[in-house]
């Protein structure tokens, strides 16, 4: 009797372990954007395999008082990317589709969220 109870408990524990959700997922691919360097020339930055459902404030343009926003985003990840005009995913937003989503130089951004 005890053996069956122990076996049932072990089987239940195994079923729970197998069905537990995994840790946070990441978008696969690259997100690219252009910003203006300190010398005034355009620079390209890339985020590789960004975390999903986490706001990514772009470090080069995080301070609205000190720099102009980034522009010309290219979403080459496998998830949608919503770009925001402000840091911390604040302000106006625009969503770019997976793999081929892009914006022109007129699309300004300081942060991005992948989903």
Q: Comparing C-alpha atoms, which of 53, 107, 108, 58 is closest to residue 81?
A: 53
pLDDT at res. 2: 52
**Full-model pTM:** 0.76
pLDDT at res. 25: 84
Low-confidence residues of the chain: pLDDT under 50: 1, 3-11, 13-23
pLDDT at res. 24: 59
pLDDT at res. 6: 41
What distances in angstroms separate CA 81 from CA 32, 63, 95, 98, 107, one per listed residue? 11, 21, 6, 7, 13
For residue range 86-99, what is the model confidence (pLDDT) as tens digits?
999 999 999 999 99
How is the chain split into domains, by residue range?
29-114
The CATH class, in words, for 29-114 is mainly beta
């Amino acid at each position: 009797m005890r053996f069956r109870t122990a076996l049932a408990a072990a089987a239940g524990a195994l079923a729970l372990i197998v069905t537990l959700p995994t840790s946070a997922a990441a978008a696969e691919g690259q997100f690219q954007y252009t910003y203006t360097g300190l010398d005034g020339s355009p620079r390209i930055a890339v985020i590789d395999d960004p975390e999903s459902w986490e706001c990514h404030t772009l470090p080069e343009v995080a301070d609205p008082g000190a720099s102009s926003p980034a522009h010309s985003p290219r979403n080459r990840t496998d998830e949608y990317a919503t770009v925001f005009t402000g840091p911390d995913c604040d302000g106006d937003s625009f969503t770019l589709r997976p793999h081929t989503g892009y914006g022109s130089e007129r699309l300004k951004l300081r942060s991005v969220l992948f989903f």
